[in-house]
Structure 1
Amino acid sequence: MTSDLGRHLHTWEARAALAEARAEAEARRARRAERVAVDGPESLRALSAELAEVHRRNEERHRTAARMHRSLVQRAQLAGSPTSVGLLLAHAVADASRCPSSAIVLLADDGSTADFVGADGLAEAAQDLEFVHDEGPLHSVCARGEARLLTGQDIQREWPHYGQDLAALGISTVVAAPLRAGAAVLGAVGLFDPPSATLGGEELAAIAGGVTPVLLDHADAEARPGGGAALDGMRIIHQAAGFVASDVGCDVPAALALLRARAFVCGEPAATIAQRILDGELHLSL
């Protein structure tokens, strides 16, 4: 395990233990309410049944958060080579949600993609499409500030060009929730073709709620300018944008727009375009 990951390990372990303790407390409250709902006074049974449901939902939310942090701990302990916290976190989201194709996106102040990371190639391809098209489910979730579940028909109707490319990847369902830091929305977590299209809102909220503090801890530990979090999934794209900005004489946002436009026209992943730029095979111009 790398020393960078070691700095986070105790925090993740503590959060997992706290979530497990809270889950057990909610389970005890649920059992008490369930007993009253069955054997208690008639006047209290309906209310007790409702309370039991609330406690069970809270229990599942805490258990989901515990699973995610336990996954982070286990994956950090097994890391045999330098591994980014962002990638570990994407895999932890996949483990907690039982959805192998999971992604995290962070947005810039102007609403464009600042960074993303995917747990597998499918999730990475889906997020590359959102970067190239500058729109999609995770961008929409950030703008609305609320979770969304979208199926193929919804996606095609709302974003025709993006939806067509997403369907070509074989993805038919996207579930996403915003990542909040106080009143601010930093980004979103997304699940592509999750095992159940009716993945509970409480579970998804628990995952999103667990992702944000890990990202912010990572930003603080890395002493990033402005304290901003990063996932390192767009490292090569940002490197290429810097090269284009210097070569063309424009700012980085304009360079990213050029790179995005070339990827759209060529029908290639943005990372492929970026690598061609860095290899000197491709030159962009205004």
Structure 2
Amino acid sequence: MTPGDGFAGQVAAAWRKAAAARARAERAEKSAQRYEAWAAETGHTPHIDLAAALRRSAACHRSSADLQEAFARRVAAWGQGPGERPRFMSGVAEVCGAESVALTLVDARNSQLAVAASGEPARAAQDLEFMLGEGPSRDATTHRGLVFASGEAIETRWPCFGPALTALGVREVAAAPLDTAASSRCLGALAVFDPRPGLVGSRAFDDVVGALTRLVLCDPDADPELYGGTDHRDSVQQAAGMVSVHVGCRVDDALALIKARAFTRGVPLDALSRAIVAGDLTFTREGPS
């Protein structure tokens, strides 16, 4: 679904997906109960293991329903009123009890392919990671494990990214990989900024990450665009191609030039890229003009 489908269509789709997820959760719970009953009768360990797996699946489905419902409520309340339409990730932030959250999708080299953020400072934080090449989401995808830092540890762990992140007012950050057993690599990461106490490392957080990975992104009827809230950084890639031609360098080097320019000037990366694409800013061998 795209933004052109209208907010009413998005609300209806979110409620429909939430209802389907809750129905799947109920079926999984009933199946788990049957296996538990059989285990009690027979003492077979495999039945216990299957029941546990089904209960985990049910929890994941319920979390998916929570995410869809949170998004539906926010968009319905917004209606066609003033301000920006709520993004799907704002519902994720609500469920997590966090100030803001961001989801990143990465390629085989763990470079950002796309980002979906609930708002600021999550979007600014992901731009910083993209520009500086370090940060919690990058660590989570590289090492395929949970990352957490707070206070001074943020600046110690990420010497370039850390001070810039704390300057945004962030006091704590956590990131978890979007990982599946069926994939040989990590799909991306969920970063949570200033999460509520006790969230990180909890079963509830694991369920949210699992829901985003398997049900929102990987299911046959999933919506990787997250109702139009996913940014594929098309303008950045287009700008890198243009700078590559003007300067006579590789696209990767051109992208590095754009990132450096945006960071040193304190300009949003997308805004700078759009200026390049529009011809308002050009790069030559002598530098930007």
Q: Same-fold call, TM > 0.5?
A: yes
Letter in 1 for 2:204: E
Q: Quick one: distance in 2 between partners of 1:141 and 1:95?
A: 22
Instruction: Report if aligned partners of 1:61, 1:202 keep a CA contact under 8 Å in 2.
Output: no
- Which stretches in structure 1 are left out of the alignment for 5+ residues? 33-53, 82-86, 225-229
Counterpart of 2:131 in structure 1 is: 132
- Which stretches in structure 2 are left out of the alignment for 5+ residues? 38-52, 81-85
RMSD: 3.9
Cα distance change on mapping 1:75 and 1:239 into 2, 3 Å: farther
Counterpart of 2:25 in structure 1 is: 19
Choose the corresponding residue for 1:214, options 213, 216, 219: 216
Task: State the shift of 1:89 in Å.
Answer: 3.2
Instruction: Report if aligned partners of 2:117, 2:123 keep a CA contact under 8 Å in 1.
Output: yes
Q: Which moved more, 1:148-157 or 1:187-196?
A: 148-157
Counterpart of 2:42 in structure 1 is: none
Instruction: Report if aligned partners of 1:132, 1:264 keep a CA contact under 8 Å in 2.
Output: yes
Counterpart of 2:145 in structure 1 is: 146
Instruction: Report if aligned partners of 1:100, 1:120 keep a CA contact under 8 Å in 2.
Output: no
SS in 2 for 1:121: coil
Task: State the shift of 1:67 in Å.
Answer: 0.8
Instruction: Report if aligned partners of 2:24, 2:58 keep a CA contact under 8 Å in 1.
Output: no
Q: Which moved more, 1:237-246 or 1:97-106?
A: 237-246
Instruction: Report if aligned partners of 1:113, 1:134 keep a CA contact under 8 Å in 2.
Output: no
Cα distance change on mapping 1:20 and 1:261 into 2, 3 Å: farther
Task: State the shift of 1:195 in Å.
Answer: 2.1
Q: Quick one: distance in 2 between partners of 1:214 and 1:193?
A: 23
Q: Quick one: distance in 2 between partners of 1:216 and 1:60?
A: 17
Residue 250 of structure 2 corresponds to residue 256 of structure 1:
no
Q: Which moved more, 1:260-269 or 1:139-148?
A: 260-269
Q: Quick one: distance in 2 between partners of 1:219 and 1:246?
A: 40
Instruction: Return the structure number with greater helix share.
Output: 1
Q: Quick one: distance in 2 between partners of 1:244 and 1:217?
A: 38
Counterpart of 1:38 in structure 2 is: none
Counterpart of 2:43 in structure 1 is: none
Instruction: Report if aligned partners of 1:177, 1:204 keep a CA contact under 8 Å in 2.
Output: no
Counterpart of 2:47 in structure 1 is: none
Q: Quick one: distance in 1 between partners of 2:251 and 2:222?
A: 24
Letter in 2 for 1:171: V
- TM-score w.r.t. the length of structure 1 is 0.71
Instruction: Report if aligned partners of 2:61, 2:211 keep a CA contact under 8 Å in 1.
Output: no
Q: Which moved more, 1:93-102 or 1:126-135?
A: 93-102
Cα distance change on mapping 1:62 and 1:11 into 2, 3 Å: closer
Instruction: Report if aligned partners of 2:262, 2:269 keep a CA contact under 8 Å in 1.
Output: yes
Counterpart of 1:204 in structure 2 is: 205
- 1:147-226 mapped onto 2 (5 Å cutoff): 147-181=146-180, 182-183=182-183, 184-196=185-197, 198-212=199-213, 213-216=215-218
Q: Quick one: distance in 2 between partners of 1:79 and 1:218?
A: 29
Q: Quick one: distance in 2 between partners of 1:177 and 1:145?
A: 8
Task: State the shift of 1:141 in Å.
Answer: 0.4
Residue 274 of structure 2 corresponds to residue 275 of structure 1:
yes
| Identity value in percent | 31
Instruction: Report if aligned partners of 2:105, 2:189 keep a CA contact under 8 Å in 1.
Output: yes
Instruction: Report if aligned partners of 1:2, 1:79 keep a CA contact under 8 Å in 2.
Output: no
SS in 1 for 2:283: coil
Q: Cα deviation per residue 1:212-257 (whole Å; 9 max; x = unaligned)?
A: 24234599878x9xxxxx9216243233223323433445433322
SS in 2 for 1:160: coil
SS in 2 for 1:281: coil
- TM-score w.r.t. the length of structure 2 is 0.71
Cα distance change on mapping 1:246 and 1:71 into 2, 3 Å: farther
SS in 1 for 2:217: helix
Q: Cα deviation per residue 1:156-196 (whole Å; 9 max; x = unaligned)?
A: 11111111111111101011111124232110011100122
Letter in 2 for 1:109: A
Instruction: Report if aligned partners of 1:240, 1:275 keep a CA contact under 8 Å in 2.
Output: yes
SS in 2 for 1:14: helix
Task: State the shift of 1:263 in Å.
Answer: 1.8
SS in 2 for 1:110: coil
